[in-house]
């Protein structure tokens, strides 16, 4: 919170959260007219922008159209564009054959980049195989281990990871610290077994 | 005619980093109360650094700011390296300075083009600026991109770089990896000079500050990544002595601590740096500063936009010089545990001097941490400047006076989230 990343990204240099909060405060709920001409609250307008402000945002955008069933965004692509939904809906899924709906690990991004595994090759502690993907394996690309910015992946195998971290020379205090930093969620907060030292 | 008693309100100050407000009460034409209210909740960084391993602060403290993460990393490294008594290879120091130049370029350009310039052009924001002067905004974006490219190539990513560690870097880039940066920076140098020319054509109100100025000094260059602490009233001290001179105190209306230098209000940042060290600028940056009409000192807060633009020219030139002489060192970092119990570190964040202090226990964990960011040090100077803007001001319309207050604050490029952190203005005319 308040780290300034949004203002850094924003092409117009404004704090979007502040502006959005103000718009919500000032504007009546977004109520598109239905086929009968009756005004109703739309379930698909969570930010409650009124028509005028939607148009204002739309003015600053480039129109795009996607066919039904088309992939709009794939994990690991740079998340640079924002979409203002005109009509239709977007479904969010991650499917891996044999594993169902899951989040991919940073480890898979490393493999795709063809980077040498820093943990296997150099004995550098790395959380890549229990961490949600999305960064593009930044840390292994500069010869350091992942420290878990994107948080734990679905069902992380912390017992196996803890064993590897011990092999890399980390003691229980250090393992406790690396699993609980300042990121999205603490590893093991869902009761995942961290495994006892042998 | 201006009302004798007035109350002004800015519900949400735009074009500053973070959230806060200003309360101004004017009674019988005089500013009775001027408070810069920083109300963002405290972020407790100093508390949750306790118990962490001595190698962790660069990764943790960089999260304090998405605009100046390198400043936090470098001040943290300087403090901890002092406690570990590490001597860094010159090439490693150089690369750290190069990374810092990237941050100066990106941060200053963001403020110049997107936050500050609209004030001088009577425009609400940079979208309006893009409609009127598309070329200017494109120049700004291209220049910011050049700064980001440095951060990306050396730091691993433009925000919260991952490659910085105590004692140096995890991996040193190869000479070949830096070559594309040189090409981009040559274009950026033209854009940076054009930026100085552009901003120096703005109209500047005639205001002179009398605050004490505080900045880092280095005999060999315009200090960025480290240095001795110098003030305009003759103070010379090292990072260790900073706490003897700078004392923080809580004020009721702000979640950011106020700071005093030997009991006085003071200013850190571009105006302080330029006024104390302009003689160290050389080459294109010195020439553009002269062409822009800046003297040896600049104490006009509105002209801070020109000083920032000159510092961008300097950072681009310096980045080119570092890349030119770069030879990849054999070892990317020097390692060693804390030897002293306490370490102090300073560096020049884009907004001013940033101080870190760490105290370690025998297990090499952090026992206590103190972080003093530039915006928190500048609060008293900003309030003083606001008071002067409002005191005896004859503007008849509250809206105009409110706008003036917002401009007065934006001159300082406050980073409220860093300070914890700013802005809604309430003026109470009684």
* pLDDT above 90 (res A50): no
pLDDT at B92: 96
pLDDT at A6: 46
| Three-state SS sequence of chain B | CCCCCEEEEECCCCCCECCEEEEEEEECCEEEEEEEEECCCCCCHHHHCCCCECCCHHHHHHHHCCCCHHHHHHHHHHHHHHHHCCCCCHHHHHHHHHHHHHHHHHHHHHHHHHHHHHHHHCCCCHHHHHHHCHHHHHHHHHHHHHHHHHHHHHHCCCCCCCCEECCEECCCCCHHHHHHHHHHHHHHHHHHHHHHHHHCCCCCCCCCCCCEEEEEECCCCCCCCCCEEEECCCCEECHHHHHHHEEEECCCCCCCCEEEECCECEEECHHHHHHHHHHHCCHHHHHHHHHCCCCCCCCCHHHHHHHHHHHHHHHHHHHHHHHHHCCCCCCCECCCCCCCCEEEEEEEECCEEEEEEEEECCCCEEEEEEEECHHHHHHHHHHHHHHHHHCCCCCCCHHHHHHHHHHHHHCCCCEHHHHCCCCCEEEEEC
* pLDDT above 90 (res A147): yes
Report how far residue B295's alpha carbon sits from residue B289's, in angstroms, rounded to the nearest whole number. Answer: 8
The alpha carbon of residue B395 is apart from the nearest alpha carbon of chain A, in Å, by 27
Q: How confident is the model at residue A45 (pLDDT cuts 50, 70, 90)?
A: very low
Measured between beta carbons, which residues in chain B are less than 8 angstroms from residue A144? Answer: 162-163, 165, 170-171
Q: How confident is the model at residue A193 (pLDDT cuts 50, 70, 90)?
A: low
Over residues B120-132, the mean pLDDT reads 94
Q: How confident is the model at residue A66 (pLDDT cuts 50, 70, 90)?
A: confident
pLDDT digits (tens, 9 = 90+) for B227-249: 999 999 999 999 999 999 999 88
Q: Which of A47-51, A80-84, A164-168, B75-79 has the highest average model confidence (pLDDT)?
A: B75-79
- Minimum-distance CB partner of B162 among A11, A142, A181: A142
- Encode B116-144: b = buried (16+ Cβ within 10 Å), e = exposed: bbbbeeebebbbebbeebeebbebbbebb
CB contact under 8 A, B165 and A144: yes
* pLDDT above 50 (res B400): yes
Paired tokens of A53 = 């402000």
CB contact under 8 A, B157 and A18: no
* pLDDT above 80 (res A51): no
As a whole number, the mean pLDDT across chain A is 73
Give the least confident one: A73-77, B241-245, B358-362: A73-77
Chain A residues with CB under 8 Å of a chain B CB are 1-8, 10-15, 18-19, 21-22, 60, 135, 138-139, 141-144, 147, 149, 174, 177, 181-182
Query: Which 3 state secondary structure label does DSSP give A22?
Result: helix
What is the distance, to the nearest Å, from the Cα of residue B273 to the centroid of all Cα atoms in its chain?
11
Neighbours of B162 (CB within 10 A): 22
Q: Bigger pLDDT: B213 or A179?
A: B213
Q: In terms of DSSP bridges, do strands B266-268 and B212-217 run parallel, antiparallel, or are they unpaired?
A: parallel
- Encode B10-49: b = buried (16+ Cβ within 10 Å), e = exposed: bebbbbbbbbbbbbbbbeebebbebbbbbbbeebebbeeb
As a whole number, the mean pLDDT across chain B is 92
* pLDDT above 60 (res A15): no
Report how far residue B225's alpha carbon sits from residue B347's, in angstroms, rounded to the nearest whole number. Answer: 5
Over residues A150-177, the mean pLDDT reads 90
* pLDDT above 90 (res B90): yes
Q: What are phi and psi of A36, to 5 degrees?
A: -85, 0
pLDDT at B147: 98
- Minimum-distance CB partner of A8 among B18, B66, B169: B66
Q: Tokens 């505080």 belong to which residue?
A: B214
* pLDDT above 70 (res A13): no
Q: What pTM did the predictor assign?
A: 0.83
Query: Nearest residue on chain B to A142, judged by CA atoms?
Result: B171
Measured between beta carbons, which residues in chain A are less than 8 angstroms from residue B64? Answer: 3
Report how far residue B251's alpha carbon sits from residue B379's, in angstroms, rounded to the nearest whole number. Answer: 11
pLDDT digits (tens, 9 = 90+) for B146-165: 999 999 999 999 999 999 99
- Minimum-distance CB partner of B156 among A7, A13, A141: A141
The percent of residues above 90 in pLDDT, for chain A, comes to 21
Over residues B256-265, the mean pLDDT reads 91
- Minimum-distance CB partner of B115 among A13, A60, A135: A13
* pLDDT above 60 (res A8): no
Q: How confident is the model at residue B289 (pLDDT cuts 50, 70, 90)?
A: very high
Give the least confident one: A55-59, A122-126, B384-388, B421-425: B421-425
The conformation of residue A61, written as its DSSP 8-state character, comes to S
- Minimum-distance CB partner of B66 among A4, A14, A174: A4
Best of B9, B10, B14, B39 to substitute, by most chain A Cβ atoms within 10 angstroms, is: B14
Give the least confident one: A32-36, B27-31, B301-305, B333-337: A32-36
Q: CA separation (Å) from A54 to A20, A41, B168?
A: 12, 15, 48
Measured between beta carbons, which residues in chain A are less than 8 angstroms from residue B415? Answer: 4
pLDDT at A111: 85
Check: CB of residue B424 under 8 Å from CB of residue B10: yes
* pLDDT above 90 (res A189): no
Report how far residue B346's alpha carbon sits from residue A144's, in angstroms, rounded to the nearest whole number. Answer: 26
Instruction: Report yes or no for ipTM above 0.85.
Output: no
pLDDT digits (tens, 9 = 90+) for B17-73: 777 788 888 888 888 888 888 777 778 889 989 999 999 999 999 999 889 999 999
CB contact under 8 A, A2 and B417: yes
Paired tokens of B112 = 């110049």
Q: How confident is the model at residue B425 (pLDDT cuts 50, 70, 90)?
A: very low
The percent of residues above 70 in pLDDT, for chain B, comes to 96
* pLDDT above 80 (res A75): no
| Three-state SS sequence of A81-101 | CCCCCCCCCCCCCCEECCCEE
First-to-final CA distance of chain A: 40
Paired tokens of B37 = 């209210």
pLDDT at A40: 38
Q: How confident is the model at residue A104 (pLDDT cuts 50, 70, 90)?
A: confident
* pLDDT above 50 (res A39): no
pLDDT at A63: 83
pLDDT at B110: 96
pLDDT at A52: 75
Query: Nearest residue on chain B to A57, judged by CA atoms?
Result: B127
Spatial neighbors of B184 by CB under 8 A, at least 6 apart, are: B145, B146, B149
């Amino acid at each position: 919170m308040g780290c300034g990343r949004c203002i850094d990204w924003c092409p117009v240099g404004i704090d979007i959260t502040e502006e959005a909060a103000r718009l919500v405060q000032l504007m009546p709920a977004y109520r598109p007219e239905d086929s009968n001409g009756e005004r109703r609250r739309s379930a698909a307008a969570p930010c409650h922008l009124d028509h005028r402000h939607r148009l204002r945002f739309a003015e600053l955008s480039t129109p795009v159209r996607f066919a039904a069933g088309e992939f709009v965004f794939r994990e690991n692509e740079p998340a640079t564009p924002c979409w203002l939904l005109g009509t239709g809906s977007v479904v969010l899924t991650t499917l891996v054959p044999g594993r169902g709906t899951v989040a991919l690990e940073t480890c898979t991004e490393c493999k795709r980049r063809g980077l040498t595994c820093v943990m296997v090759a150099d004995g550098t502690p790395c959380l890549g195989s229990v961490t949600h993907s999305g960064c593009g394996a930044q840390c292994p690309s500069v010869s350091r281990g992942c420290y878990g910015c994107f948080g734990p992946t679905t069902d992380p195998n912390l017992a196996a990871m803890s064993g590897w971290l011990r092999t890399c020379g980390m003691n229980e205090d250090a393992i406790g610290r690396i699993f609980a930093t300042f990121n999205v969620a603490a590893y093991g907060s869902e009761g995942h077994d961290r495994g006892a030292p042998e | 005619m201006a009302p004798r008693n007035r109350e002004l309100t800015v519900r949400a100050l735009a074009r500053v980093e973070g959230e806060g407000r200003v309360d101004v009460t004017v009674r019988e034409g005089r500013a009775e109360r001027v408070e810069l209210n920083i109300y963002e909740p405290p972020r407790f960084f100093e508390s949750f650094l306790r118990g962490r391993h001595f190698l962790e602060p660069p990764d943790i403290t960089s999260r304090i700011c998405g605009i100046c993460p390198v400043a936090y990393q470098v001040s943290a490294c300087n403090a901890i390296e002092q406690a570990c008594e590490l001597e860094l290879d010159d090439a490693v120091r150089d690369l750290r300075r190069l990374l810092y130049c990237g941050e100066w370029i990106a941060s200053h350009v963001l403020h110049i083009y997107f936050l500050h310039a609209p004030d001088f052009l009577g425009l609400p924001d940079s979208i309006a600026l893009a409609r009127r002067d598309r070329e200017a905004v494109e120049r700004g974006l291209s220049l910011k991109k050049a700064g980001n490219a440095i951060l990306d190539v050396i730091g691993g990513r433009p925000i919260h770089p991952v490659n910085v560690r105590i004692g140096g870097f995890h991996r040193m880039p190869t000479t070949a990896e830096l070559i594309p940066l040189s090409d981009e920076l040559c274009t950026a140098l033209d854009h940076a000079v054009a930026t100085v020319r552009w901003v120096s054509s703005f109209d500047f109100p005639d205001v002179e500050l009398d605050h004490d100025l505080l900045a880092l000094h280095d005999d060999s260059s315009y200090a960025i990544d480290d240095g001795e602490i110098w003030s305009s009233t003759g103070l010379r001290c090292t990072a260790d002595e900073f706490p003897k001179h700078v004392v923080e105190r809580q004020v009721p209306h702000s979640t950011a601590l106020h700071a005093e230098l030997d009991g006085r209000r003071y200013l850190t940042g571009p105006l302080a740096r330029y006024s104390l060290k302009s003689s160290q600028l050389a080459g294109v940056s010195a020439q553009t500063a002269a062409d822009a009409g800046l003297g040896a000192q600049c104490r006009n807060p509105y002209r801070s936009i020109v000083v920032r633009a000159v510092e961008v020219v300097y950072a681009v030139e310096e980045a080119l010089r570092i890349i030119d002489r770069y030879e990849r060192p054999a070892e990317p970092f020097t390692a060693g545990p804390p030897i002293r119990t306490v370490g102090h570190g300073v560096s020049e964040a884009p907004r001013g001097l940033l101080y870190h202090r760490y105290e370690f226990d025998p297990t090499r964990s952090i026992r206590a941490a103190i972080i003093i960011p530039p915006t928190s040090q500048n609060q008293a100077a900003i309030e003083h400047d606001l008071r002067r803007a409002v005191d005896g001001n004859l503007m008849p319309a509250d809206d105009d006076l409110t706008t003036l207050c917002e401009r007065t604050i934006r001159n300082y490029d406050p980073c409220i989230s860093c300070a914890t952190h700013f802005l809604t203005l309430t003026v109470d005319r009684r």
